[in-house]
Amino acid sequence: MDKIFGKLIHRENLTQQEAQTAADKIFTVLTNNEPDSLALTTAFFGALTIKKPSIDELVGTAKAMEKTKTVDFHFKIDKPIVTAGGTGGDTLHTINITTPAIITAAAAGAYAVKSGSKSFSSKTGCIDVAEALGINTHLSPNKVEKCVEKNGTVIWSSEDIYPWMSSLIKLGQKPSTKQFLHLLYSLRLVIATALNPFSLKRQVRGVSKPFTELTTKVLGACGYERAFVVLGYGETESIRIDEFSTLGRNVVSELKTNGDIETFDVYPEDIGIKTGKSTEIIARESHMENAEVIKRVLAGKDKSSRRDIILLNAAAVLVLSDVCQDLHDGFELAKQAIDDGHVLTKLEQLKHFSRKNVRHFC
């Protein structure tokens, strides 16, 4: 570790093995709640953030993270399964977008899943809003497999598979550490590129800083076969969100099945979507309020910018699922699924199936 920190102090890139060694140590001390876990985590990821992480550093850390998984999933499905998520760190605190987008995509014909945690940097995290919607996010692994195979979707707490995650979340929620932990963007990138609890090969990944190509290269090196990595902008480029945006330009890096990476811009009007308003997608104050906003969209009662941005992100999942060819067709499929009541039905199916196993429900 002395050698590793010595290189980082001099802003030298670590080898893949050095990064894996450092990450092994950090995940161990976090898992064991050791006294130096905060210092070690912030020192390492702080140095990486200042230097800017390399592909080898992110891949090495991904390998270390993969070793900590306590479960390997084996879904009996012969179609692609797609997951989605973001790094956090938005300059605009939006409503939860990816969670309802996953449910919408599943209702439109995709196998779409999401893992997550309680709030780390947002007002309401993936698991917070899922539980407020009535979904049990703490299913047993066997139940997760059956839920996806039967219902085409699941929202699941990744704290149940990564033993160090609960400690990291607790550190991030402490008033004394909350502010500076949020500044460690390399930590967000590591989690974004390495967290793969379902052992999948396709994902939509949002970033809130211009690292789309870097992140896509790391995903390719980690064995992904297809991916969209997107940075969404608002009315001005001072507004950045880690999702596909209907407010302005999207920078998208696409990993193709042949290993090639293409980076391009997408605007709402390219897909036939009216440019949205940032004021309409700002998060509410409580988990329950955010859940109510989502329920209105999924029920077809809300046709504002909130609906459009959820539909656009569902469209990206549908493309990677091979359900459709492009974002325009995906948007139309997702819209039809809401209007026909299929999305609300899918939510009710997920709630009913997941709550059969109430032993871990909280």
Per-residue model confidence as pLDDT tens digits over 189-244: 888 888 899 999 999 999 999 999 999 999 999 999 999 999 999 999 999 999 99
Strands 226-233 and 250-255 come out as antiparallel
Mean pLDDT rounded to a whole number for the chain: 92
CATH topology of domain 2-67: 1.20.970
Using alpha carbons, select from 227, 204, 194 the residue that is nearest to residue 310.
204
Is residue 334 within 8 A of residue 95, CB to CB? The reply is: no
* CA 269 remoteness from chain centre: 25
Q: What is the pTM of this model?
A: 0.92
- Which residue spans of the chain are classified as CATH 3.40.1030.10? 81-161+197-349
Distance of alpha carbon 47 from alpha carbon 36, whole angstroms: 16
pLDDT digits (tens, 9 = 90+) for 133-190: 999 999 999 999 999 999 999 999 987 789 998 888 888 777 767 666 667 889 888 8
pLDDT digits (tens, 9 = 90+) for 97-130: 999 999 999 999 999 999 987 655 455 678 999 9
SS (H, E, C) 309-341: HHHHHHHHHHHHCCCCCCHHHHHHHHHHHHHCC
CATH topology of domain 81-161+197-349: Pyrimidine Nucleoside Phosphorylase; Chain A, domain 2 (3.40.1030)
Report how far apart the first and last C-alpha atoms of the chain are (Å, whole number).
39
Domain with CATH 1.20.970.10 in the chain: 2-67
Q: How many residues does the chain have?
A: 362
